[in-house]
Amino acid sequence: MLATKSNSYTFQKDGIWYFSRRVPADLRRHYRTGRIAYSLRTKSIRDASVRAMSDAAKLDRHWHLLVTLISKTV
């Protein structure tokens, strides 16, 4: 069951923190689902927050590159 939200990219379920992020509308055709979600494999809010922010930055860079590639091929 969902517990508390600490920031915009994490949620806690059964004591474990998870990362969750919606795929931007213009990139959804490149993904199977509209949301990316996975376990951060920690019960520590501090560790989860650091991992989530790092993963969010990596995902932002990836999406930026993907949009750049798509716009160059169109």
Reported as a single tens digit per residue, the pLDDT across 32-72 is 999 999 999 999 999 999 999 999 999 999 999 999 998 88
Tens digit of each residue's pLDDT (9 = 90 or more) over 4-38: 544 579 999 999 999 999 999 999 999 999 999 99
Residues near 60 by beta carbon (within 8 Å), at least 6 away in sequence: none
Contact 44, 5 (CB under 8 A): no
Give residue 72's pLDDT: 86
How far apart CA 48 and CA 17 sit, in angstroms, is 6
- Indicate the average pLDDT of the chain: 90
pTM for the full model?
0.82
Question: Rounded to an integer, what is the distance from CA 43 to the centroid of its chain?
Answer: 18
